[in-house]
């Protein structure tokens, strides 16, 4: 088969590789019907993720059709259409038993396209298939389901649920790239009174409006704190969601919230931030970090359609043989307007 | 009457001042039967709290007897023995209505000995008496009740409740001065499996054992992370409570916790700390800060006695006329072993 | 002034009565700009509520303009437009301090039009004005705000919040009169995947569709359990909200829910129901009852407008002098299609 | 091997049966080192549990040594000492993934000694071994660990956690047989201010004192409601735990609680109870039912010893060949004082 293979920083090739085989009784081999590229794939290609070694097939998001399963797999059968979670769950460790699959200590967690070969391929071996795949509802489109593999659960769990968004809240989202947009989409499920999108790029702010932000702030021209205060009688936002991953945006998020507010960090950080405890110590703030668990996939699957329209995430389509072009389009999002690119056989 | 009056950094005098009078219909005038000194009084005397101006009577903890009340006061009558909360609550603002009195926007919050005259005096004016005082149960001793004015609610609410201590948890307490000890005492109400006390002073660690820590770590000689990991199968503490207020101890607290753990900051910080988001972003941590609300006073009052023995906090007694000596004993805690000094008429 | 006065079972008269005066320092006198009739007013008129005695002015919902206030009232001033909560809150008892105003032990709770004179009058005395009224946002219409006095908080707090509705849930609402409709409206704030409305009257089921139910079941013709099971893979509803108040509908609600589901009772019951513990004891169910607290009024006020369109509740308008006709229209809801009738001076 | 076999109502025999073998890849065969008898075994013998058919080996509690495992079992190895949970968990269904193993829809739940052969035997086949057994900590005694197989998790999860016991609460336990005692032991982990034990037998009330109740009420002689009200300023208990399983005790529990209180039903009910909604509808009560999940076993294992002394549960010891005598002693608990009888090879 063919796959997108990492060969060290900056080097990725769509090349012929051996087709994966069942290694464990709990594995499934899945034919990939649709996959996509994530911001973390770009981090890997920059060389920022040293666990990823030469020869690794990238990718951790897929919708596909089960080809074969190990002898212990009970809930998935050949021929089933499945959503492959970006997080593998052993199902038996103390973290998995509390639905915290991202912290799995039994061999799961984020492993696809990271520690083992991933989904940017014609076939993928999916460990712990019973607890790491989800049946695709009849009639659902691959590319809609694909948005539930990583991006939407990430915005929803790490942003919205960790941030404890409630009806009537004012929610500030700092950074409205694809992850920030997924947080906006997830936040709307809880009927906040206002979603304030904050970014430096007008094009992203325009997208944020389409996704449901009702106030947008270009922080290069306006002071987000002033906007948020004007909406909240001077108090600050109930929830601030950080979706960039640099110190300045994290620090901004901590200044935007009201006493008793929540800062939910989703951003992937490469360096420390400054925490202004000299101001925050009396303000009853809660700050959370998190890797997605994808425990919300069943919930999000039930909402797909009328309640949750994910199609606007899909901006581009590619065939697998053009995978390198798909990467280029995704990398140059500022120019191409790419949010998620869907890659199919 | 006489009171302990602040006259700028480093200057405090026990001197004659006018007796307080009812200013608002919701005030009570309380004769102080017992008061004490808090670490924040020392901060004020260093000049760190600029809102406190020359002439201010210090102190925010008291047990006393009501002398007179404003005409709207309904639940408190002259002659009642009352606990005066360190936090005043207007009772009507949005924060007070959710029991978050520390964030009161209606004129309360921490005001005694801060924005208005305080309790280190023969008499004190207590605003919002209906919602800022609590009846003393019959038979209770003044000096036990006094521990519920600030220190025990602080350790319990900001440390234990914010940290979400649960039965079976491993709880690390970083810094075991009086506030850390109150966190230990409060944590025991939830039956953690282990309480690990961490400090640089053996004398404080010895006190921590008396208060219920079952593991002590002198971080000058031992590595707290190693100790905590050995108790937790390598995972880290479920909860880490910061009770010092300097960057190094806060950062230590964030390294001690397991994935999905909680860091509860109680410490009073004068400068920012570094938050290692490059490590923490995937670890599902929750970090909280907080000013005490004293919403737990009714609960703690019910537990006083068999379930909650607070007397060990009281290490020294002084008469009010020796208030300056009381301060000296409290300031030199390392030498005197002072935890809380009780000052009575 | 004139008011609608109760003179024993079945007897109500719009008659001249003395204008109310300030009795307590915490009172406000409010000129009623809009009031309405509640199902519990009908219960009173049937003689089912013995605490209501001859001569009582009925009504517990109002929007009005403050005419005068007692000397301790701080947050409300003459001339202010206010929403009068159906629940009075002393603000100082242990229940009020936890936002459980419906259980106030300090003289509040449901008292208007019950223990003291109510809002179906030209003027009303509102006790505890600081904690029992809410400012009307500039530009809001009286009749929209009026829906937040009782009916919408009741459906939201006692139905939706007690029932712990979450995104993706299947919510069954048993009985879709005005209270059931308010539960539907409130439930939508949490984005359930399906709201199933169950009733015997097609006209009410039609209204339920307008309010947001996506499945309707006429339980005279169809089996609600079968419908709910077909939507939930045989498991049952996540949440069942009882909004009728008779044993049969309560028992239906307990059969509709899945293991680990929630039954939230809103209905006013006059007799006991049978609880089938022989079936339920293993099913991990949670059953709640509740009187509204109106603690959600600030949240609902923030959502009014785009997020929460309450106008469809208002089906009829009357002038106060036609109050008896307003009652007749409301009583004969099956014929008149009345949901809420708005009565203005 | 030999086992205790059910042969229809009233008939049980310790007889020779085939030794169990691995049927599924996820099974373990465990040599039983200690087992015990549960109240539900007596229900079965009365013929009350029709799913149990002639020839079934009874028993669902055990501590043992793993003899062999199916090829997919990863976390348990031959020779390991394990606690066998009374609840089997498939680990992959939606309930198991939220730690609600009692409601497992993947073939688990309460199956041992019920749907499949149980633990009152020399060997037992344990399905889903990875998620249904727990390693015994080094140095722990079999008979202590055995109390965590069913009885202690049941009291803790279904009584204490469902009842949401908090520090300072007044907790009423209705019925203090073994299950009521386990609820008392579990409640103490949350430091209630008072635990009120209610029963008709003075001997059980005496045991309740040993287990930590601080108030006992013989409801044949005293009015429990009066006692509870006298402890709570007339309000009622914060939590009432039903541990009998008949209508009268359930109805008592619902009268004992304060507004906003919790009733947690643990009792096994064979008939409906009356729910006095005509009184309860305004009282903001929460009523829960539940089958144990045993999700608390890891927590309870960490507490075993100093924090949780379970040995007082063990009143009698028998050898397996005397299993029938063990049943007789357990059945005549009123005479023998039996709480839990430990049966060993």
The Cα of C88 is separated from the nearest Cα of chain B by a number of Å equal to 13
Average confidence (pLDDT) over B57-78: 97
Encoded tokens for B227: 């100790």
Report the alpha-carbon angle A30-D96-B287, nearest 5.
Answer: 95
Q: Is the pLDDT of residue A252 over 90?
A: yes
Query: D152-288 has which CATH code?
Result: 3.40.50.720
- Residue D21 is predicted with a pLDDT of 98
D280 vs C289: CA distance, rounded Å: 7
Which pair of structure tokens corresponds to residue C258? 């899945």
- In chain B, which residues touch D (CB < 8 A)? 166-168, 188-191, 193, 298-300, 302-303, 307
CA–CA separation, B59 and B115 (whole Å): 11
Low-confidence ranges of chain C (pLDDT < 50): none
Taking CA–CA distances from D191, the nearest residue in chain B reads B189
Name the residue facing B285 among A95, A271, A289 (closest C-beta). Answer: A289
Q: What is the pLDDT of residues D122-159, one digit of tens each?
A: 999 999 999 999 999 999 999 999 999 999 999 999 99
Residues of B in contact with D188 (CB under 8 A): 191
CB neighbourhood size of A116 (10 A):
17
Res B306 pLDDT > 90: no
Contacts of D26 in chain A (CB under 8 A): 72
The model's pLDDT over A191-229, given as tens digits with 9 standing for 90+, comes to 999 999 999 999 999 999 999 999 999 999 999 999 999
Q: Tens digit of pLDDT for each residue in C207-249?
A: 999 999 999 999 999 999 999 999 999 999 999 999 999 999 9
Closest partner residue to A277 among B265, B276, B277, by Cβ? B265
Cα torsion through A145, A150, A154, A155, rounded to 10: -50
Q: How far apart are CA A66 and CA A30, in angstroms?
A: 4
Cβ proximity of C27 and C43 under 8 Å: no
By residue count, chain B amounts to 345
Among C137, C161, C167, C258, most A C-beta atoms within 10 A, so best to mutate, is C167
Q: Does the structure show a pLDDT above 90 at D220? A: yes
Residue D48 has pLDDT above 90, yes or no: no
Say whether D191 and B303 touch across the interface (CB within 8 A).
yes
Q: Using alpha carbons only, what angle is made at residue C9 by residues C4 and C10, rounded to the nearest 5 degrees?
A: 65
- Are the Cβ atoms of B299 and D191 closer than 8 angstroms? no
Nearest to D99 among A71, A72, A98 (CB): A98
């101890």: which residue's tokens? B249
**Which pLDDT band, with edges at 50, 70 and 90, does D306 fall under?**
confident
Residue C189 to residue A193, Cβ atoms within 8 A: no
Mutate to test the interface with D, among A92, A126, A135, A294 (most CBs of D within 10 A): A92
Question: Read out DSSP for B277-343?
Answer: HHHHTTTT-EEE------TTHHHHHHHBTTTB--GGGEEEEEEGGGHHHHHHHHHTHHHH--SEEEE
Residue range B68-96, pLDDT digits in tens: 999 999 999 999 999 999 999 999 999 99
Indicate the helix (H) or strand (E) that contains D5.
strand D2-6
CA D330 to chain centre: 15
CA distance C211 to C209: 5
Of the pLDDT bands very low, low, confident and very high (cuts 50, 70, 90), residue B316 is: very high
Contacts of D101 in chain C (CB under 8 A): none
**Alpha carbon separation from A161 to A290, D82, D108, D111 (Å, rounded):** 11, 36, 30, 35
How deeply is B28 buried, as exposed, middle or buried, from its count of CB atoms within 10 A (0-12, 13-18, 19+)? Answer: buried
For B97, which DSSP code? G
Contact C200, C218 (CB under 8 A): yes
Residue in this structure with the two tokens 């942003």, named with its chain if needed: A159
Write out pLDDT tens, residues C269-298.
Answer: 999 999 999 999 999 999 999 999 999 999
A179: alpha, beta or left? (left if phi > 0; alpha if psi -120 to 50): alpha
Residue in the block written with tokens 């005043």: B88
Residues of chain C neighbouring D281 (CB-CB closer than 8 A):
245, 265, 267-269, 289-291
CB contact burial D140-152 (16+ within 10 A = b; e otherwise): bebbbbbbbbbbb
List chains touching B (3+ CB pairs under 8 A).
A, C, D
- Look at residue D73 and tell me whether its pLDDT is greater than 90: yes
Q: Do C189 and A191 touch (CB under 8 A)?
A: yes
Q: Minimal CA–CA distance to C297: which of C170, C132, C172, C164? A: C132
Nearest C-alpha neighbor of A211 from the set A244, A189, A241, A232: A189
CA distance B95 to B97: 5
CB spacing of B74 vs C92 below 8 angstroms:
yes
Q: Are strands B273-275 and B340-344 parallel, antiparallel or unpaired?
A: unpaired
3-class secondary structure, A215: strand
Flag if B95 and A278 touch (Cβ within 8 Å): no
Alpha-carbon gap: A116 to the closest alpha carbon of chain C (Å): 33
**Complex ipTM, two decimals?**
0.97
**Mean pLDDT within B112-141:** 97
Q: Which two tokens stand for residue A241?
A: 């969601």
Q: What per-residue confidence (pLDDT) applies to A244?
A: 96
Instruction: Provide, as residue numbers in chain A, all residues whose Cβ is less than 8 Å from the Cβ of B286.
Output: 286-288
Q: How far is B18 from chain D (nearest CA, A)?
A: 40
pLDDT of residue A218: 98
- Rounded to two decimals, the pTM is 0.97
Please answer whether residues C137 and C301 qualify as being in contact, where contact means their C-beta atoms are separated by less than 8 angstroms.
Answer: yes
**Looking up tokens 């069913």, which residue turns up?**
D150
CB B266 within 8 A of CB B291: no
DSSP labels for D172-190?
Answer: EEE--SHHHHHHHHHHHTT
Q: Across the interface, do D100 and C284 touch by the CB < 8 Å criterion?
A: yes
Q: Considering only CB atoms, which chain B residues are within 8 Å of A282?
A: 102, 289-291
Contacts for D275 with CB less than 8 Å, ≥ 6 apart? C250, C272, C273, C274, C275, D254, D287
| Chain C closest-CA separation from residue A22 CA (Å) | 31
How far C93 CA lies from chain B's nearest CA (Å)?
9
Phi, psi of B60 (to 5 degrees): -140, 15
CB contact under 8 A, B191 and D193: no
Identify all chain D residues contacting C272, using CB atoms and an 8 Å cutoff. 274-278
Residue ranges of chain C that CATH labels 3.90.180.10: 2-150+294-344
With cut-offs at 50, 70 and 90, classify the pLDDT of residue D249.
very high
Burial class (CB in 10 A: 0-12, 13-18, 19+), B47: exposed
In the predicted model, is pLDDT for residue A48 greater than 90?
Answer: no
Question: Which of D134, D193, D299 is the mutation pick for testing B, counting most B CBs within 10 A?
Answer: D193
Residue A330: predicted pLDDT:
97
- Name residues whose C-beta falls within 8 Å of residue A175's C-beta, 6 or more positions apart in sequence: A198, A199, A242, A243, A244, A245, A249, A267
Write out the two tokens for C326: 């307003």
Amino acid A306: pLDDT: 83
User: Which of C137, C193, C260, C300 is the best substitution to test chain A (most A C-beta atoms within 10 A)?
Assistant: C193
What pLDDT was estimated at residue B331? Answer: 96
Query: What CATH number matches the domain at D2-150+294-344, 3.40.630.30, 3.30.460.30, 3.60.20.10, 3.90.180.10?
Result: 3.90.180.10
From CA B343, how far away is CA B100, in angstroms rounded? Answer: 29
Look at C277 and D95 and tell me if their CB atoms are within 8 Å: no
Which CA distances in Å does B19 have to A190, B16, B57, B86?
A: 53, 9, 11, 20
Whole-number pLDDT of residue A177: 96
CB contact under 8 A, C191 and A190: yes
CB contact under 8 A, B289 and A270: no
Residues of chain A above pLDDT 70, percent: 100
Residues A125-142 have a mean pLDDT of 96
Give the pLDDT of residue C256.
Answer: 98
- Partner residue facing C92 (CB), from B94, B98, B130: B130
DSSP state of C160: I
**All CATH 3.40.50.720 domain ranges in chain C, comma separated:** 152-288
Closest CA to A83 of A291, A298, A309: A298
- Give the separation between CA D16 and CA B208, rounded to whole angstroms: 58
DSSP bridge partners of B239: B171, B262
Q: What's the pLDDT tens digit per position in A76-114?
A: 999 999 999 999 999 999 999 999 999 999 999 999 999
Q: What percent of chain A has pLDDT over 90?
A: 98
Question: Could B275 and A275 be called an inter-chain contact, meaning their C-beta atoms sit closer than 8 Å?
Answer: yes
Q: Which residue of C has its CA nearest to A297?
A: C168
- The predicted-structure confidence for D75-95, as pLDDT tens digits, reads as follows 999 999 999 999 999 999 999
- 3-state helix/strand/coil string of A115-168: CECCCCECEEEECCHHHHEEECCCCCCHHHHHCCCCHHHHHHHHHHHHHCCCCC
Is B275 within 8 Å of A273 when comparing Cβ atoms? yes
Would the CB atoms of C91 and B92 count as touching at under 8 Å?
yes
Which pLDDT band, with edges at 50, 70 and 90, does A278 fall under?
Answer: very high
Q: Which position has the token pair 């169809």? A: C222
**Hey, are the CB atoms on B72 and C98 less than 8 Å from each other?**
no
Question: Is D172 in contact with D215 (CB distance < 8 Å)?
Answer: no
C128/chain B closest Cα distance in angstroms: 10
Mutate to test the interface with A, among B60, B244, B275 (most CBs of A within 10 A): B275
Cα gap D316→D312, rounded to integer Å: 10
C-alpha torsion sign, points A91, A92, A93, A95? positive
């Amino acid at each position: 088969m063919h796959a997108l293979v990492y060969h060290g920083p900056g080097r990725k090739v769509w090349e012929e590789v051996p087709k994966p085989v069942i290694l464990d009784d709990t594995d499934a081999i899945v034919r990939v019907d649709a996959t996509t590229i994530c911001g973390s794939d770009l981090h890997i290609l920059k060389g920022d993720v040293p666990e990823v070694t030469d020869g690794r097939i990238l990718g951790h998001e897929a919708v596909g059709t089960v080809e074969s399963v190990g002898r212990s797999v009970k809930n998935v059968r050949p021929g089933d259409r499945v959503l492959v979670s970006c997080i593998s769950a052993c199902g038996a460790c103390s973290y998995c038993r509390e639905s915290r699959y991202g912290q799995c200590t039994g061999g799961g967690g984020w492993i696809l396209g990271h520690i083992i070969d991933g989904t940017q391929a014609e076939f993928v071996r999916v460990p712990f298939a019973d607890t790491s795949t989800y049946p695709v509802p009849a009639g659902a489109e691959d590319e809609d389901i694909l948005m539930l593999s990583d991006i939407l659960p990430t915005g929803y769990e790490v942003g919205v649920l960790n941030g404890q968004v409630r009806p009537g809240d004012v929610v500030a989202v700092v950074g409205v790239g694809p992850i920030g947009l997924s947080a906006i989409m997830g936040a709307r499920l809880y009927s906040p009174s206002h979603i304030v999108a904050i970014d430096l790029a007008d094009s992203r702010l325009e997208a944020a409006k389409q996704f449901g932000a009702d106030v947008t702030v270009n922080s290069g021209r306006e002071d987000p704190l002033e906007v948020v205060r004007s909406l909240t009688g001077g108090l600050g936002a109930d929830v601030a969601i950080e979706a960039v991953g640099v110190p300045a945006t994290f620090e901004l998020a901590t200044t935007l919230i009201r006493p008793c507010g929540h800062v939910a960090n989703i951003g992937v950080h490469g360096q420390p931030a400054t925490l202004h405890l000299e101001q925050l110590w009396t303000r009853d703030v809660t700050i959370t970090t998190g890797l997605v668990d994808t425990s919300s996939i069943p919930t999000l699957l039930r909402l797909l359609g009328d309640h949750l329209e994910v199609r606007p995430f899909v901006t581009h389509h590619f065939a697998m043989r053009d995978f390198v072009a798909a990467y280029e389009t995704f990398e140059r999002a500022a120019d191409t307007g790419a949010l998620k690119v869907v890659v199919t056989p």
